[in-house]
Amino acid sequence: MITPKSATACRPAAVLVASILLTGCTAGPAVTTDSQPGPVAARAATGAPPRPAPSASPDAAPRELPGLGPGTRAEIPQNTRQALVVTGRGRNSPLSSAVLYERTASGWRAGAEWPAHNALKGWTRHHRAGDLRSPIGVHTLTDAGGLRPDPGTRLPYDRSDGFSISGTGFEGESLAGSFDYVVAIDYNRDPGNTPLDWTRPLGASRGGGIWLHVDHGGPTQGCVSLREDHMKALLRALDPDLDPVVVMGDAAALER
């Protein structure tokens, strides 16, 4: 979730002129303009290249995900074998880091640590539309998309002009290209649909449109952003057969 300097929500350029609702990266109903049929315009092509495995840690793989307390670990589904852990620098900080882990017979193997941004005001356990905080918790990752073509993900991928974005962020940075690649975080949304889907099971007041997307060099409204090369690497690594999740929050919250 990112915000133009004028406080408009992170929404496709086609709807930037509509009424402003500070709810998420997609702050209002969006209609894909891709020529392909269906709510998800493009699915990951069959015969995708082999998924790159996360690089092994020089130390023995831990049996439990590092940095997580028993409460957080209990929220991770038992069948999950892939977890992107996003650790915020502080409860009120927009800076964080992300590591993709994969569970093997010998434990959780870690990939590289990637720098990331989260929401301007940090984190919250009870996200509300417009609070400028990212939702703490464990959420599944089921659907992807973007303005640019599928880079080779195994997730369902919606290539659509609906991911266009313009304007500037909190620090005056351009938002162009922020939605070139996105992965929907399954917070207040119906999994199995394009990230542009506007269904909000918890109601609009609880926000939505929380995505992993390309970093634009500044804080977001509620999303988590990674450098473009890291987003592409993440998309190629995520495997729906491994039931991937994102575990996200400030360090203290994740240690509970």
Residue with tokens 């998800």: 40
Q: What does the pLDDT read at residue 60?
A: 74
Q: What does the pLDDT read at residue 61?
A: 87
Q: What does the pLDDT read at residue 16?
A: 33
Pick out the chain residues at pLDDT < 70: 1-59
Taking residue 69's Cβ as centre, other Cβ atoms within 10 Å add up to 13
Q: What does the pLDDT read at residue 24?
A: 62
DSSP for 93-134?
-SEEEEEEEEEETTEEEEEEEEEEE-BTT-EESS--TTS--E
Taking residue 224's Cβ as centre, other Cβ atoms within 10 Å add up to 25
Q: What does the pLDDT read at residue 59?
A: 56
